[in-house]
């Protein structure tokens, strides 16, 4: 029988399969049918991230690069247009309805039905390869993978539980314990990274760390643009950097259409965006437990390991 702590965590989540938990705002049948059979196009740009690894930030960078000739359109983007998370929706679960979340469609269906062919699509996902679209690995569109210090990911995910209505708030101790048991949404961080590492050296894959974007924003934007095959002038590069500055995006997010559907009162899509914030959250004992577990799981993947 699940403990009271697990019951609290899982009220708005479910086991997609043993050991792999998803929030109920993502429907199992939709993932197994619409998402799995999603029609991938050659011009698509996929963004693959573990939750809270810089998804929103990188999606906005890609969006700005794609629309550099019409940069003002970014201000008009709805939530779905800014970060089209492939597996999101539809919102039919009673745990969501009672919180007033009733208007989130299947993002995969909306992407297919509303984005005309020939237009580059920006598509994000937190799914592992075995449940991602089959055509992703057949057509091999440009795919960007963003990695982040897992301690910062977990700290940010904890705050995310406090921010969005489709997840129950947890104490930090509950979140840490859930992670160590592999019960956080989208499963274990290490397993996610290792599963995508199989494709790391493929020419259609581009890996970058969140910390590298923080350290060299402009240089990282150029690298992403080059990978996308988009040549930017110096002024265009500066403009992308300007509109994807963290504080600029945080202010802009306050007026995102549709934000009220999932954010709790006072919540914001961008919180701090710092690196190393985990040090203010983890206890010494928790950090040691995490490090031991992390090093054991990432054994053999030294090129992807973080040095804490």
Q: What is the pLDDT of residues 158-171, one digit of tens each?
A: 999 988 888 888 89
Whether the CB-CB separation of 262 and 104 falls below 8 Å is answered with yes
Q: Active-site residue 126, yes or no?
A: yes
Residue-wise pLDDT tens digits, 241-294? 999 987 767 666 555 544 445 665 555 555 555 677 899 999 999 999 999 999
- Cα 48 from Cα 70, distance rounded (Å): 25
CATH architecture of 4-304: 3-Layer(aba) Sandwich (3.40)
pLDDT of res. 270: 54
Residue 185 forms beta bridges with which residues? 21
Integer Cα distance of 254 and 95 in angstroms: 25
**What is the model's pLDDT at position 76?**
72
Under 8 Å between Cβ of 133 and 40 = yes
pLDDT the model gives residue 103:
77
Of the residues 93, 126, 161, 217, only one is catalytic, namely 126
Rounded to whole angstroms, how far apart are CA atoms 25 and 90?
A: 6
pLDDT tens digits for range 168-219 = 888 999 999 999 998 899 999 999 999 999 999 999 999 999 999 999 999 9
| Per-residue model confidence (pLDDT) at position 9 | 58
Q: Whose CA is closest to 306, among 232, 213, 182, 210?
A: 210
**pLDDT tens across 79-130, in order?**
667 778 999 999 888 888 887 787 788 999 988 888 777 778 999 999 999 9
């Amino acid at each position: 029988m699940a403990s009271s702590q697990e019951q609290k965590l899982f009220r708005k989540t479910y086991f997609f399969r043993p050991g792999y938990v998803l929030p109920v705002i993502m429907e199992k049948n939709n993932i197994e049918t619409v998402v799995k059979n999603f029609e991938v196009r050659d011009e698509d740009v996929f963004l693959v991230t573990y939750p809270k690894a810089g998804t929103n930030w990188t999606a906005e960078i890609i969006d700005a690069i794609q629309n550099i000739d019409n940069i003002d359109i970014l201000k008009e983007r709805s939530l779905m247009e800014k970060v089209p998370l492939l597996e999101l929706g539809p919102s039919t679960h009673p745990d969501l309805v009672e919180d007033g979340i009733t208007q989130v469609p299947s993002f995969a269906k909306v992407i297919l039905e509303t984005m005309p062919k020939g237009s580059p699509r920006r598509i994000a996902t937190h799914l592992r390869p075995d449940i991602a679209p089959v055509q992703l690995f057949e057509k091999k569109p440009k795919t960007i993978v963003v990695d982040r210090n897992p301690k910062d990911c977990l700290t940010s995910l904890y705050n995310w539980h406090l921010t969005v209505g489709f997840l129950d708030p947890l104490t930090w101790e509950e979140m840490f314990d859930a992670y160590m048991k592999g019960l956080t949404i989208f499963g274990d961080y290490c397993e996610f990274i290792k599963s995508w590492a199989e494709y790391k050296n493929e020419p259609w894959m581009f890996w970058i760390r969140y910390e590298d974007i923080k350290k060299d924003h402009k240089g990282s934007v150029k690298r992403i643009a080059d990978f996308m095959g988009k040549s930017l002038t110096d002024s265009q590069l500066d403009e992308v950097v300007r509109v994807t500055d963290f504080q600029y995006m945080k202010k802009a997010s306050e007026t995102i259409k549709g934000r009220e559907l999932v954010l709790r009162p006072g919540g914001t899509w961008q919180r701090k965006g710092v690196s190393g914030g985990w040090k203010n959250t983890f206890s010494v004992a928790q950090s040691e437990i995490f490090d031991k577990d992390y090093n054991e799981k990432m054994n053999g993947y030294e090129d992807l390991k973080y040095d804490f």
